[in-house]
Amino acid sequence: MNKRVVVTGLGICAPNGVGLSNFYEALLSGASGITFHQELADLGFGCQIAGKPEIAESLKEAYFTPLQLKGLNSSGVVYGVMAGTDAWTDAGLGKAGKDKPDWDSGIIFGTGILGIDKLRESIYLIDDNNSRRLGSNSVMQTMASGISAYLGGILGCGNQVTTNSSACATGTEGIIMGLERIRLGKAKRMLVGSCNDSGPYVWGGFDAMRILPANYNTNPRDASRPMSASASGFVPGSGAGALVLESLESALERGARIYAEVMGGAVNSGGQRGAGSMTAPNSEAVQRCILDALSDAGIERSEVDAINGHLTATSKDAEEIRNWSEALERSGKDFPYINSTKGMVGHCLAAAGSVECVAALLQYREGLIFGNRNCRDIHPEILEFVDASRIPQNTISHRSKIMAKASFGFGDVNACIIFKEFKEM
Amino acid sequence: MVDNEERLARLKEIVKTYLPEDVPIGNVELESNFVTELNINSAHLVDIILDLEDAFGIRLENDDMDKMQTVRDALNIIDQKLLDKE
């Protein structure tokens, strides 16, 4: 018998809000975290705007020791440690004592690439025949699993501590991996989440692919336009989101606050076959992933009343909507409420799934569906499947029972999770 | 030339960052072994070496790092490097 799994803690480091209360206020009012970056203009980027969490140096001191701060040049580590530590605290959990780890708590914290600025710093030293000057911290700041390793040490987790990576599906995939571990009784608690570095060395490759908007450098807050007819590419973002997943038993025993139950999830790949490719999703795989998630969750298509989409603000948005509509066999006014967090934070890449799940779960806490920023001109192909009333422009009151969240990534990979309102029996 | 007291003070200032939370700076004495007594993570010895290089304008080789077991060893190595420079 599988254990039931609930969410008991949230942490966030997002472009439009660092810390849960700031993030919530921003989502509520539809505040954008997309800003112009002079650095990108100086480097000749077409897209000179991005979503980057603003972190004061003094705030870092609350999360890192002076030794950890020395030579720290990995934004992903900063975002991930802040979000992960906050989620742990939000769940009412403490750090393990000095001599013994917490064997029942583990971490799956994903990333795309970690510490790219540190890597650049290191490469310059090495090319200058000066590798001896790297010191001891270039490895832990640039190994992909650096983020789970930092968090593991800070919190003292003694269960599985690892890092997953599946491009823009990373965050959502990690939650499903944590869910499975707790279900099987292999852990009581899993800190799951993901982070993504900020800066030109992360975003440059996407700019080179010409898939970022280049016409919003003077009005950055209007640039990220999921589901809009005038969407012209995704706005690169960064940050981290984190959730504490816990067996229902453990949560009830501790008297922890429960945001929602994680009913199930699924991951798959389109195999880069059919219409699928390295960069484009195979629709059949997307629909299968949604249906597999529902089946895993034991939930009927008709029960889904809210969706937080992947919806990046590219020409693929209409295709995603069609996939939801066909998979759920729902359309028009019968379609669930749907929103995209990316209108406010941009596309946080590997951090997207976790940042957006935190947003989705805050909707449970507050009984709301956050509004869609920048989509007053809903794409006509989307309106063929969904009535405009199901795409709220502003935050509305709605107590969701069943919410679906999906993320899709390069490599034709998909992840979908089903959350359910939690009510004490 | 910097006198010994001042060198020790500068060394302590550098070492302070690398001490575990439960080891006060007051525990750092001339005969203290960095790893076995002060419980400094041995991985950080390379960082202490780099900080010493910056602070004293010297360059330490792998041999020096092997010899640098205690605070006194470190001071002796710094003295020698500064003498070599002159």
pLDDT digits (tens, 9 = 90+) for A29-51: 999 999 999 999 999 999 999 99
Residue A156 within any structural domain of the chain: yes
Q: Which domain holds residue A311?
A: 260-420
Instruction: Name residue, tokens 């409420």.
Output: A337
Residue A81 within any structural domain of the chain: yes
Residue A425's pLDDT is 60
Which of A155-164, A331-340, B42-51 is predicted least confidently? B42-51
Whether residues A183 and A269 share a domain: the answer is no
Q: What is the mean pLDDT of residues A180-189?
A: 98
Whether residues A217 and A281 share a domain: the answer is no
Whether residues A248 and A314 share a domain: the answer is no
pLDDT digits (tens, 9 = 90+) for A78-126: 999 999 999 999 999 999 999 999 999 999 999 999 999 999 999 999 9
Residue A425 within any structural domain of the chain: no
- Name the domain boundary from A236, A254, A272: A254
Whether residues A270 and A241 share a domain: the answer is no
Q: Is the whole model's pTM more than 0.80, yes or no?
A: yes
As a whole number of angstroms, the distance between CA A227 and CA A368 comes to: 20
As a whole number of angstroms, the distance between CA B67 and CA A180 comes to: 50
Q: Which helix (H) or strand (E) segment is B25 a member of?
A: none
Q: What is the mean pLDDT of residues A128-148?
A: 96
B38 alpha carbon, distance to own chain's centre: 12
pLDDT digits (tens, 9 = 90+) for A269-286: 999 999 999 999 999 999
* CB of A407 closer than 8 Å to CB of A415: yes
Q: What is the mean pLDDT of residues A318-336?
A: 98
B34–chain A Cβ distance below 8 A for any pair: no
Residues of chain B predicted below pLDDT 70: 1-2
Which residue of B15, B16, B17, B62 is the best one to mutate when testing the A interface, meaning the one whose CB has the most A CBs within 10 A? Answer: B17
Number of domains in chain B: 1
Residue A322 within any structural domain of the chain: yes
Q: How many CB atoms lie under 10 A from the CB of residue A271?
A: 13
- Name the domain boundary from A220, A254, A288: A254
User: What DSSP string describes A333-371?
Assistant: TTSPEEE-THHHH-B-GGGHHHHHHHHHHHHHHHTEEPP
Residue A198's domain is classified under what CATH number?
Answer: 3.40.47.10
- Name the domain boundary from A198, A232, A254: A254
Number of domains in chain A: 2
Which residue of A64, A65, A67, A130 is the best one to mutate when testing the B interface, meaning the one whose CB has the most B CBs within 10 A? Answer: A67
| Encoded tokens for A175 | 């939650």
User: What DSSP string describes A27-81?
Assistant: HHHT---EEE-HHHHHTT-S--EEE-----HHHHTTTS-HHHHTT---HHHHHHH
Q: How many CB atoms lie under 10 A from the CB of residue A119?
A: 18
Q: Which domain holds residue B33?
A: 4-85
Contact B44 A98 (CB under 8 A): no
As a whole number of angstroms, the distance between CA A281 and CA A275 comes to: 7
Contact A67 B17 (CB under 8 A): yes
pLDDT digits (tens, 9 = 90+) for A357-402: 999 999 999 999 999 999 999 999 999 999 999 999 999 999 999 9
Residue B9's domain is classified under what CATH number?
Answer: 1.10.1200.10
C-alpha closest to that of A195 among A81, A52, A351, A85:
A351
B22–chain A Cβ distance below 8 A for any pair: yes
Contact B44 A67 (CB under 8 A): yes
